[in-house]
Amino acid sequence: MLERISLIVCIVFGCTMFCLPADSAAFQQDQARPKTAKTDDDQIRKLVAQLGSDDFGQRQSAVNSLIDIGQPALAVLNENREAVDSEVRMQIVRIMRIIVQDQMNRQIRDFLSEKKSLPGWTTFVRIFGERRQYREDFAKLFRKHHEAISSLESSGEDVVSMIQSLELEFNQSRSKSLRGNEETYATICFLFAAFFEPPEDSGEAKDRAAGLSPSQIPTKLQLSIKDLFGNRQLHEMLSRKIYDYIVLDAMKVWISSGDGNITATPARLELARAHNLKHGLVPAELCIRSNKMSSAMLRDAIDMIARFGDTAHIALLEPLLENKIMLLRAKRPGSDGDLFETQVRDHALSAMVHLSGQKYSDFGFELGQRQDDERVLPYTLAGFRTDDERGAALKRWREFRSNNKMP
């Protein structure tokens, strides 16, 4: 097993912070430049001291030698980063930057040639699958946000911290343009998705990354990420097909998560409806089973089940036939002012009629007579003018249920 380095180097270049992740497989000792002879710390210290020589040739020779030594020189260079001489400090910073960048380039080349893996790649494949294009995309994400992605090998708390940091970075820059920030957006989506089980259509594996749990993500952060999924930048990425599968699959993973977070359920359902995703069945079912949801949420949950559910969902909807909360009162189209009213139970009944393959007209939905029975009847057309009409429809349903066995 390759030995990992436990070294953090943070160097400020003007306004830019350059970071080498701690305890990460991203920077392994065998990635150093090949050497013709063993180089010990004393030799490295002599070369660092030579950086302050009055002779330009000696200084340049020391720079080249330290760069050639590579990773083994980083520890000593870091020790001398606060050198008194400002020119020496600048040279040390430059040398360290070149060494780490060289390691990064070499490591990514090995990854692209499938010789070695990268931290986070196993999790990426688990969620999104493995294709050549995906490998190339992951390399781009890792090059820009290697520290954040490498946090997947530490703890859930570290990953959450990285998500929050990247979200802040993205929010501060996205008002200008998404261009140039695509990798940041995609990395946020990827890290967020790592906490949840993949949906059924995202691969064979169903387990989330080891050590990560949805409970580690604060609800506030979940709702904040939901806003990122729903903004104009997302639509731009989807239309340009830039990391679009990462964004879409991350949405599906979160929407279909069965973590039982009631507070986030409305946001999940709203997102599923906005993108017409069948994964919204999970929050829809949770919404109907809960006694804390508003009538609007029940309306949307019923609509989601009517769109993507099957006969197995009828038993879930039937208790709603007792729910008399009003969803809509409006003038009946084509009339002289006749009013009709849609209650929760009316909407639930129309959904069950659809799921059971019946005709809307057989259950008294006059406004649905011109509706294709293969399509979901919107709640705006699922009402009745009188309680007598409603009662007759409910009686017709009970008769149908008594004569037909269903799950």
| pLDDT tier, 175 (very low <50, low <70, confident <90, very high otherwise) | low
Q: What does the pLDDT read at residue 196?
A: 81
Residue 180 pLDDT exceeds 50:
yes
pLDDT of 207: 47
Phi, psi at 385, each rounded to 5°: -80, -35
Q: What is the pTM assigned to this prediction?
A: 0.70
> Which segments of 200-346 are extended strands (E)?
326-331, 339-343
> For residue 336, which amino acid is it?
D
In degrees and rounded to multiples of 5, residue 96 shows phi and psi of -65, -40
Percent of the chain with pLDDT over 90: 36
- What digits encode the pLDDT tens for the residues 203-245? 444 444 556 777 788 888 887 877 777 666 677 777 778 898 9
**List of long-range contacts for 303-307, beta carbons under 8 Å, 24+ apart:** 303/273, 303/347, 303/351, 303/376, 303/378, 303/379, 304/269, 304/272, 304/273, 304/280, 305/281, 305/351, 305/355, 306/350, 306/351, 306/354, 306/355, 306/376, 306/377, 307/276, 307/278, 307/376
Cα four-point dihedral sign 264, 266, 268, 271: negative
pLDDT value at residue 261: 66
> In this predicted model, what pLDDT tens digit does every residue of 14-34 receive, in sequence order?
333 334 433 333 343 334 444
3-state DSSP call for residue 216? helix
CB–CB of 100/27 below 8 Å? yes
Residue 365 pLDDT grade (very low, low, confident, very high; cuts 50, 70, 90): confident
Instruction: Compute the distance between CA of residue 80 and CA of residue 384 in angstroms, rounded to an integer.
Output: 81
Strand partners, 330: 340
